[in-house]
Chains A and B, each alone.
Chain A
Amino acid sequence: MSSTTSAAPRTFFGKDAIAFIVLAALILVVFPVALDIFRLNLVGKYLTYAFVAVGLVLCWGFGGILSLGQGIFFGLGGYCMAMFLKLEASSPENTAIQSTPGIPDFMDWNQVTELPWWWVPFNSFPLALIAILLVPTAFAYVIGAAMFKRRVGGVYFAIITQAVAAILTILIVGQQGYTGGINGMTDLRTLLGWDIRTDSAKLILYFVNAVLLLGVILIALFVKSSKFGRLLIAMRDKEDRVRFSGYDVANFKIFVFCLAAAFSAIGGAMFALQVGFMSPSFVGIVPSIEMVIFCAVGGRLSIFGAVYGALLVNYAKTTFSESFPELWLFAMGGLFIAVVMAFPNGLAGIWKSHVEPLLPRLMKRLRPPAIVSAPTKAPAE
């Protein structure tokens, strides 16, 4: 797998271009046309996880760094957005019944009488946007610098990121006067006066989300095809050789980890906008590991595979738990094991080894649109 990825970047970009167009058509045209607004909003939610999955492809698939704490960054990004939205929803008029009007309701319930200083910047939308990218990235930098500079990797890194996720959850839950505790930040209503709960807003947010995702994918593709991407793969396969060739391996790792964190944060922020709340349950261990499985199912080496993986697993989760809630965990557990044992390269691997060889023949007979719908399984109404 890795040899093909790195050996022929030029032809690969050609294939990537097709894949990109197919994906863009799917999420910008096919889904909005085929699905009602409720299902579309769900797809929008799934796509926010795709941000994380794309980040994981870079840092796990290409860089070999498995982070079991991507929920941290998804959550931090989401919380930054939610804090802004919550402040807007807590205008003095809306919160007139509180003993201290103008602060979020959960603060009032916990006898906080003044907005904490670190909340104040979130009154401003530009500052909040900066925070969404900056806070998680800086956090990732601290973790990454401490770990990679000392050459920690592999299972150790995975477990430590997991512990950080656990700590952050306990912290958020414990400081409920400042964070909303286990309830999270709920009842987010407007963005700069624009009601985000209406169907039209959901539609617009879906497209914003889709475009952002495509942008993130472009960045990821660029990284992959650049010299940096090839170095990353070289590093994963033989770290020492890259180091002996004079590269500072740690810095590359830190960079890719931060990039993945930034991607996740954007996903988290879009999640808060589309779903209308944020809760510590995204920060913890379980969602973080689930996010890894989205990436693994799609194919850890394929940026597009990760998106399809996120869509597919979440779609399966929704339908499965609607019809057989008891069986869901069996299915999910089985999926983990099956992907790891039988299809380590996920859907993308299956696609490459089984479907792609057939394509030239198909191409002669059919035009591309027929292929478009093949990998997606449009949810039937």
Chain B
Amino acid sequence: MIGDYTYDQFFSILAMQGFAGLVLFSVFVLMALGLAIIFGQMGVINMAHGEFMILGAYVTWGTGLFVTNFAPALFPIYFFVAMALAFCASFTLGVFVEWAMIRHLYKRPLDTLLATWGLSLILQQTYRSVFGAREVGVTLPDWMMGSLPLTDIIEVPINGLFVMALTTLIAIAVALLMYKSRWGKQVRAVTQNRIMAGAVGINTKMVDRMTFGLGCGIAGVAGSAFTMIGSTGPTAGQLYIVDTFLVVVFGGAGSLIGTIASAFAISQAQSTMEFFLSGSMAKVLTLLTVVGILMLRPQGLFTLKIRR
């Protein structure tokens, strides 16, 4: 016996909490990846990140409605189409926003923070005017909603597995894109030394625009995936912002590895503490620990050497 639990139960707790922590980890990575790319590239926190996610969620909802009404046979697999569409929608909006707004503000990162906040307000109200103030329910194919029973206590939620798989896939894709492709080389060159990159013939403006679009597009996919675990409403994007920002800042600027490491640390801390403490206190303690560590090591876990 350990505490009130038998060994069997204790083992199950470990397994289930471990899995819950992994799911949370995936969720955090998915949320933060887009933001981290943009932050790393431009030194800017996109405050409208949550709203880009919700755009993806609404696209998923719309696709679901469309498929239910016009092509019910495709319903079981509509989610993949929806995710692709979500990426396209958020990517397009991201590119547009970069063109209309962000590119004028590269020299003033703090102002970008404020401008994107303004954008988030406008997007929220747009969603409210278009889709109504109420939350919309996204219907998922049945196969995505069940669980796989392993023992009588341990059950593995399929949507958790799905989020984990998706996160792995996207993380690998982004890593390949950033570190193996020609375009990724350009992005890293611009990040490290914008002027020199321009001098050697890289179209830095285009790189910026595509990076911002990519970051937003990933946010859209994340939003699409989160219809499985969360709500879709005009202000739902706000639910994620604090966590997301903290993950990125804790990880360190411009470092994808850092983002992943910090997402891991925060998610494990939170899910472990949630089990032993009450929910609210766990959240506060996690956040406090993160801020405490940031005070000791403000540059985050990992940092890139950047020439300014």
Contacts and interface: CB of A to CB of B under 8 A. Distances in A.
The reply to whether A and B meet directly (CB within 8 Å) is yes
Contact of A163 (B113, B114, B281, B291): B291
Contacts of B113: 66, 68, 155, 158
A163 B249 CA distance: 10
Contacts of B294: 160
B118 A340 contact: yes
Interface in B95-118: 101, 104-105, 108-115, 117-118
Contacts of A143: 295
Contacts of A340: 105, 108, 111-112, 114-115, 118
A146 interface: yes
B114 A336 contact: yes
Given A163-B287, A174-B280, A337 B118 contact: yes
A103 B114 CA distance: 42
B246 interface: yes
Contacts, number: 121
Interface in B65-124: 101, 104-105, 108-115, 117-124
Interface string A127-167: 00000000000000001001100111011101110111011
Contacts of B115: 336-337, 340-341
B287 to A, nearest CB: 5
B129 A154 contact: no
B194 interface: no
Given A167-B287, A170-B283, A333-B125, A154 B109 contact: yes
Contact of A166 (B104, B111, B129, B242): B242
A234 interface: no
Contacts of A306: none
A326 interface: yes
A66 B118 contact: no
Contacts of B117: 289, 336
Q: Which of B101, B253, B287 has the most CB of A within 10 A?
A: B287
Contacts of A326: 125, 128-129
A7 B276 CA distance: 60
B288 interface: yes
Interface residues of A, number: 43
A171 B122 contact: no
B291 A336 contact: no
Nearest to A65: B110
B45 A334 contact: no
A152 B298 contact: yes
A40 interface: no
A155 B284 CA distance: 23
Nearest to B290: A163
A312 interface: no
A344 B284 CA distance: 36
B302 interface: no
Contacts of B125: 326-327, 329-330, 333
Contacts of A154: 43, 109-110
Contact of A344 (B39, B111, B287): B111
A163 B122 contact: no
A122 B280 CA distance: 27
A334 B298 contact: no
A298 to B, nearest CB: 14
A37 interface: no
A155 B120 contact: no
B44 interface: yes
Contacts of B58: none
A285 interface: yes
B52 interface: no
Q: Which of A143, A170, A335 has its CB near the most chain B CB atoms (within 10 A)? A: A170
A50 interface: no
A262 interface: no
A147 B295 contact: yes
Nearest to A157: B298
A337 B113 CA distance: 10
Interface string A284-320: 0100010011001000000000000000000000000
25 contacts: A60-B110, A66-B110, A146-B295, A150-B295, A154-B43, A154-B109, A154-B110, A155-B44, A155-B109, A156-B249, A159-B246, A162-B245, A163-B242, A164-B291, A173-B280, A289-B117, A292-B114, A293-B114, A333-B125, A334-B118, A337-B119, A337-B122, A340-B111, A340-B118, A344-B111
4 smallest beta-carbon distances between A and B, as pairs: A336-B118, A333-B121, A333-B122, A146-B295
